[in-house]
Amino acid sequence: MRYYTGVKDLGNLQEAVKEALEIKKNRFAYKHLGENKTLLMVFFNNSLRTRLSTQKAGMNLGMNTIVLDVNQGAWKLETERGVIMDGDKSEHLLEAIPVMSQFCDVIGIRSFATFENKQNDYEETIVNQFIKYSGKPVFSMETATCHPLQAFADLITIEEYKKVKRPKVVLTWAPHCRALPQAVPNSFADFMNEADVDFVITHPEGYELCEKFVRNAKVTYNQDEALAGADFVYAKNWSAYRDPNYGKIISKDPSWTITTEKMALTNNGYFMHCLPVRRGLIVTDDVIEGPNSLVIPEAGNREISAQTVIKRILEDLQ
């Protein structure tokens, strides 16, 4: 594997999950792969899980790891080409990328949607510039429109906890006070559409996701109907995708919060969320603290999804 930006890069998904579960049994079995190799993790945005889990994954594989927080201590970066740089941005990404690549063998990128221009966000300008100009293997640690390490960890978690061969998995929108990207639901939908699950998406009218990710998933505006008989409930907020509301909040309807009453509609279903989560908006304390909440093991599996991806990248570098 040279690049990891979406489910397609994993090839056979069942085999990828099997490999991940094998890695989980012995995280240090491939320590030789990363000897004298350096992982550079570049963060344009905040992170807790991705930072810790990906760094741990690199260390499990014997790598040296460098974390660069672009907004703290580095020069402020210009990302647009053709601009006169007379503002507060001292360095252009087009020099910064090849400089960064002098000091590493593999690069992970975290960058969020700007919501300023839907086309730019969905063209994934930043990660694609790293792919084009670094000359190194590059993987997404969440970019403008996708979070494939999260979705891979989510699928691993579903595989570990499922009680039936083909579980019903529901992705439900839930209210939030800030406009959030569509990256997590996009990638979750992308993975679930490839997995052996009965996949349903539910959200209020106006929160339709990009067709490229929804594909043939069942979509309903009736959350209760979607939750009926669900084995897994994946709650997430996202801002509107469709024009003219791209990146905007168009509803904060509290009746979409995941409560004990909502979970009672499910098949004793598990609750999932990528974290960080706003309690009282997305989910109630009772649900997230309850016995069917998978948020902590789900976060733990971020180490495994990252390690599987970096292992494959290192194998191709040998």
Chain contacts with ligand CP (rule: CB under 6 A): 47-50, 142, 150, 274-276
Q: Is 206 left (phi over 0), alpha (psi -120 to 50) or beta?
A: left
Which element (helix H / strand E) includes 14? Answer: helix 13-25
Nearest CB to ligand CP, comparing residues 33 and 213: 213
Least CB distance to ligand CP at residue 26 (A): 25
Q: Which residues, other chains included, contact 176 with Cβ-Cβ below 8 Å and sequence gap of 6+?
A: 237, 249, 252, 278, 281, 282
Least CB distance to ligand CP at residue 171 (A): 15
Nearest CB to ligand CP, comparing residues 121 and 142: 142
Examine residue 276 and say whether the peptide bond preceding it is cis (omega within 30 degrees of 0): yes
Nearest CB to ligand CP, comparing residues 49 and 168: 49
Give the separation between CA 140 and CA 144, rounded to whole angstroms. Answer: 10
Give the separation between CA 198 and CA 217, rounded to whole angstroms. Answer: 9
Nearest CB to ligand CP, comparing residues 154 and 194: 154
Nearest CB to ligand CP, comparing residues 29 and 48: 48
Give the separation between CA 174 and CA 171, rounded to whole angstroms. Answer: 10
Least CB distance to ligand CP at residue 235 (A): 13
Q: With the CA atoms of 13, 18, 22 and 24 taken in that order, what torsion angle do they form, in degrees rounded to the nearest 10?
A: 60
Nearest CB to ligand CP, comparing residues 302 and 311: 302
Q: Name the residue with the smallest CB distance to ligand CP.
A: 50
Q: Which among 271, 263, 259 is positioned nearest to 296, based on CA atoms?
A: 271
DSSP letters spanning 129-158: HHHHHS-S-EEESS-SS--HHHHHHHHHHH
Least CB distance to ligand CP at residue 141 (A): 7
DSSP letters spanning 80-98: SSS----SS--EEHHHHHH
Give the separation between CA 309 and CA 105, rounded to whole angstroms. Answer: 14
Least CB distance to ligand CP at residue 46 (A): 7
Least CB distance to ligand CP at residue 147 (A): 6
Least CB distance to ligand CP at residue 230 (A): 21
Nearest CB to ligand CP, comparing residues 60 and 143: 143
Total Cβ atoms within 10 A of residue 318: 7
Nearest CB to ligand CP, comparing residues 78 and 308: 308
Least CB distance to ligand CP at residue 67 (A): 12
